[in-house]
Each structure stands twice: as C-alpha cells, then as structure tokens.
C-alpha cells in the first residue's frame, strides 16, 4: 500500500506543494475573480490526469476513485483579502490591494498535494473523493458567499456527497498540531449597516435639529445591552460596531449617521432573537428623538457544525498522521466565522485546524499577519490528512459485496 503519511511528501512532491503555495501567495485574487489561481489549479490537476470542471466562476471540482460507493468531499478555499501585504515575504504579492493573510494559499496547496497522492492510489479508493477549490470565502464579492455559490451549482450532487472535510491553517498554533471541536465550532456572522436619519442644521441651534449622532450613540448603547442583558450567561454572542461615520465641520449637525458592525453567535435561536431585537431597536428607538433608522443585513453566515459522529470516525485516521500529543479533537469553539456553514448545515462535515506556528508567532501582530509566513513544513501534514482521511473513511464505509 502506498505510504500516506506526511513522510510520503519528499522530493518533487514536496517541492510542488511549496511552489503551489508560493504561486498563490504571489498572485492573490479577490472574490470570484481568481483567474490566475484557477488556471494554475486546472493545469496541476490536468497534469495528474484529472478532468476538473468549473461549476461557477473560479470554482473547480475534480473527482478521483473507483466510483462505486460513498463520496467524501475535500474542500479548500483560495481567495485572498483586500489588504496590502507587509514587506518581507519571499513570495510577496504581485497584485496591489490583495494579499493572502489568512492562509488560503496553504489550503489550496495542501489540497493539490492530496490530489497528487490520491491519484497514485486511485485503485485503492473504495468510492469517490470529490476535490473542491472554492472562491469568495472572504465574502469580498457581496453578491453571494462562495460556499453558497458552489452548493447552488450542485457541488453536493452528481455524485451525492455523504461527508465533507475541510482544513484551516491556524498560524499561532504549534507546527503540525491538529485540533477540532465537535458541535458548533465557528460562529454565525451577520454584518449590518445602520443608517440614522435626523435633521441637520447649525451647531448653535441644536433645538431646531434632530441630531443623528446623538441618536446613533443611544442606539449603540442599546445594541450593547442586547449582549449584556438579553444573552443568557451560558450562551455566547458578540456584537461589534466597528465603524461610525457622520458629519464634517465641527459646527454643523449632519442629517445622517452611519454605523457598521457584526453579530456573532453559536446558537441559531439566539442569533434569530438578537437579529429581531436589533431591527426592533432601529424601528422604535430613533423616533423617540425625532429621527428614523434603517438596518441592512449585508452578509449572513450560519454557524459551522462539526458532526460528532463523523469526527469520531476520522479520529483514528488523523492519529495515523499526527502524533497523539499533537492532537486535540475536543478543543473549545472559536469566535471567527466561515462560509463553510452552507455545507455543514446540509451534510455531515468536519472542520479541522492545522497548526503552522512556532514559538513567538502571533502575539501583537495577530493570527492573520503571522499567516503570511506559514511554514512549508506543515504542508505535508495537511495533504496527508486530507488523503488519509478520505481513503480510510471510504474504506470504513464501503458498500457490501
């Protein structure tokens, strides 16, 4: 049987993964417009004998296996963030205003590595492995989250998908370590934009005005109370107003004030309650001060659910790749979000975190900045995890006869 451990990635295969990662890092692209990356993935897959299909803009799907049996989907996102990259990376971004600061370059490189390895053991695959390279996970294109786009395009069909696995690079986490959390692992995210409309005028005559800034301050305080007083102590929610914009000259009261923020929660019922109360506050509070407000939901992502039974099935296959002291498959949940929820809310999924860090990483720079410098040495572990979990899960769940 072909060696599926991280040690299998020597020589040319390791060099290919490192080159893939450097290519994606040097050519970051946004949203659904990932032509350079998409063409690179297509070339690599076709070189290995795959026939990838583009099911929606820059979303590539390829399959490997003998076809009879169950299907497991392996997913990697490969879009970047709309930021400028700090100096210092050897494969520095060649596209101003875009950079891989969240590790998606590593995600795509690891899945390409798994694709190469799985093709070499195709005659041993007792079912189908579906490989998916997804655009727009970061939601830069507001038209549709990337995971929703691939679900709408039929990624869970033809053949129908029975289980899904995704890996996420965790920059400050120890190199090669793996953690996961059964149940709700990442929060829902609802981005919102509130516009408070009042009556502007001269700052010397505030009685003739309806000051939207004063109303926005009261609304901000009321929103804060939703977490402090309406969220059960046993539950978790975070409501952040990250931007407020209004006015110009200090002596003029403006006619409007805008606020932007996000709501995050694990529990779907709590999320629904808080969203409804946010709308009620926008409708009812401003009229008390002769103003009005409207709220627009700009991005809605559900919380991600890691299926406990699937995670338990995958655990022994993870142990074949990762030493026991580097595994924690009962870790606590974290507060960021991901559009992977569009998959996890439809079929059993597992979301694993793979450490790329070493002592001293993260710190004041934070995870996303340190993700710029993910170590290539962790790439083989991720590729081996993808390949081994897919191969062994299909073998464990093979059809009789």
Which residues on adjacent β-strands are paired with residue 194? 259, 295
3-state secondary structure of 88: coil
Q: What is the DSSP secondary structure assignment for residue 245, as one 8-state letter?
A: E
Residue 138 assigned as binding residue: yes
Q: Where are the beta strands (DSSP E) in 42-127?
A: 53-56, 59-65, 71-77
Residue 38 assigned as binding residue: no
Residue 47 assigned as binding residue: no
Do the Cβ atoms of 169 and 351 come closer than 8 Å? no
Do the Cβ atoms of 267 and 230 come closer than 8 Å? no
Contacts of 112 (CB under 8 A, 6+ apart): 16, 17, 20, 41, 44, 45, 383
Q: What is the DSSP string of 265-289?
A: ES-HHHHHHHHHHHHHHHHHSGGGG
Q: How many other C-beta atoms can be found within 10 angstroms of the C-beta atom of residue 17?
A: 25
Q: How many angstroms separate the CA atoms of 171 and 357, rounded? A: 5
Contacts of 275 (CB under 8 A, 6+ apart): 190, 263, 297
Q: 8: cis peptide before it, omega within 30°? A: no
Do the Cβ atoms of 212 and 254 come closer than 8 Å? yes
Dihedral class, residue 158 (left if φ above 0, else alpha if ψ from -120 to 50, else beta): left
CA torsion sign, 338 to 343 to 346 to 349?
negative
Do the Cβ atoms of 191 and 297 come closer than 8 Å? yes
Residue 104 assigned as binding residue: yes
Q: 314: burial class by Cβ within 10 Å (0-12, 13-18, 19+)?
A: buried
> Known binding site for Mn(2+): residues?
102, 104, 138, 168
> Known binding site: residues?
102, 104, 138, 168
């Amino acid at each position: 049987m072909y060696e599926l451990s991280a040690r299998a990635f020597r020589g040319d295969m390791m060099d290919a993964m490192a080159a893939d990662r450097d290519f994606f890092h040097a050519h970051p692209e946004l949203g659904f417009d990932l032509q350079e990356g998409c063409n690179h993935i297509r070339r690599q897959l076709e070189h290995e004998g795959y026939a990838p299909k583009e099911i929606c803009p820059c979303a590539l799907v390829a399959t490997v296996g003998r076809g009879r049996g169950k299907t497991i989907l392996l997913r990697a996102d490969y879009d970047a963030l709309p930021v400028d990259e700090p100096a210092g990376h050897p494969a520095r971004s060649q596209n101003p205003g875009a950079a891989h600061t969240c590790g998606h370059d590593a995600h795509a490189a690891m899945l390409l590595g798994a694709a190469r390895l799985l093709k070499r053991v195709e005659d041993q695959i007792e079912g189908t492995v579906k490989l998916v390279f997804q655009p727009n996970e970061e939601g830069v294109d507001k038209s549709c989250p990337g995971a929703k786009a691939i679900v709408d395009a039929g990624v869970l069909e033809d053949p129908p998908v029975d289980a899904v696995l995704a890996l996420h690079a965790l920059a400050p986490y120890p190199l090669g370590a793996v953690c996961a959390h059964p149940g709700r692992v990442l929060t829902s995210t609802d981005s919102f934009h509130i516009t408070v409309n009042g009556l502007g005028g001269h700052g010397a005559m505030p009685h003739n005005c309806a000051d939207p800034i004063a109303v926005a301050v009261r609304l901000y305080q009321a929103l804060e109370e939703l977490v402090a007083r309406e969220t059960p102590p046993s539950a978790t929610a975070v409501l952040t107003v990250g931007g407020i914009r209004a006015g110009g000259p200090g002596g003029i009261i403006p006619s409007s004030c805008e606020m932007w923020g996000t709501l995050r929660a694990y529990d779907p019922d709590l999320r629904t309650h808080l969203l409804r109360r946010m709308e009620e506050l926008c409708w009812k509070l401003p009229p008390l001060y002769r103003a009005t407000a409207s709220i627009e939901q700009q991005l809605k992502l559900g919380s991600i659910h890691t299926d406990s039974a699937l995670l338990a099935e995958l655990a022994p296959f993870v142990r074949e790749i990762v030493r026991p002291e580097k595994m924690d498959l009962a870790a606590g949940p974290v507060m960021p979000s991901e559009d992977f929820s569009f998959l996890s809310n439809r079929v059993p999924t597992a979301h694993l975190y793979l450490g790329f860090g070493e002592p001293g990483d993260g710190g004041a720079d934070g995870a996303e900045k340190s993700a710029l410098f993910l170590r290539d040495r962790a790439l083989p572990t991720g590729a081996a995890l993808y390949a081994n979990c897919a191969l062994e899960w299909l073998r464990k769940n093979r059809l009789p006869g």
